[in-house]
Structure 1
Amino acid sequence: MKKIVLFFILVKSLYAENFNDVTKALEKDDYKNAYTILKSLENKQDKNVLFELARLYDYGCWVRQNISEAVKYYKKAAALGHVEAKYNLGIIYYLGEDNLKNSDGKITACNKYMDEKDDIKPSLAVLQADDKEALNWFLKANKEGHSEAKNSINLICDSKPEICKQK
């Protein structure tokens, strides 16, 4: 029995160390290292791991910006209770993919990318703005106390009150 307990303590401490390494890598803008560690932890179904993977795809850091992949990981993190993932989904659906990118087609100034042959292929489908879906995500985030969600709800309800009457 002691061996089993020690095994679980060891596994838990290794995971904590790895996620701490992710945090340190992100603080240093070492997206390659962060991505590598996150991908190794992806199957653990941890909301923080999935959220950070989503952000890398959302902002295009180390990987090509891929909003479809970002949404996939944000939804997984949101299903596990990550409030910021819910809010970010609201933002993505509110703005739509075209409005998320700046004039050079990227959101951030991340400039270190993996070789395209190693990256996943970008989605050909462009996520369109969807106020109703955005409202649903903002409502979920607001219910859990996200500080900006109420303002986002008001923004949608002021511009499209017919959507809010249905809620």
Structure 2
Amino acid sequence: MSGSSSRPGGSARARWPETGDDDQPPGVAGFVFSPFAPVVVAVAERCLRRRYPTAEVPVGVRTGIVLVSASGDRVSAEHVRATVEAGARVGPLFFFQSVPNSVAGHVAARWGLRGPVVCLSPTGDPYADGVAEANLLRDDGDADEVLLILIEQAPDGPTEAVAVLLGGEGRQ
């Protein structure tokens, strides 16, 4: 994640964690057990607020979301695997949150974003793959700007994320 955080571009950027952040971001209703969704929401809202301090994206702006993660919600996946292996019942919220589109859609609904939501598992450089997808959405006319979110859950460390708002003044 550290390599992607130093990349140029974007009308706004944010990271999780940043100086002063607690170990865990605030919880998100409907998402349990894992920091994946709370980190996505925290970094997305931080980035969007830096571009739109009033917490409102102008009505005529179509903002898409591209969420990029090679591993997805690793913590939830490991919990489900262990629960099934133990012969226990998996809670219904895990089916909902196991798809990264659910948290990206949550961000879109909360902010009233009117662009497409795309989730990618990168095959190469995560930032380059995400920017390429964002450029396709913008070139096809589906979005004026794209909130690119890169997130990974390390098996032995904290969840890290970077968000960049691409679009507006020029091509990034």
Q: Taking structure 1 as the reference length, what is the TM-score of the superposition?
A: 0.27
Which of 1 and 2 has higher RCO (CA within 8 Å, sep 6+)? Answer: 2
Which one has the bigger strand percentage?
A: 2
Which one has the bigger helix percentage?
A: 1
Q: Taking structure 2 as the reference length, what is the TM-score of the superposition?
A: 0.26
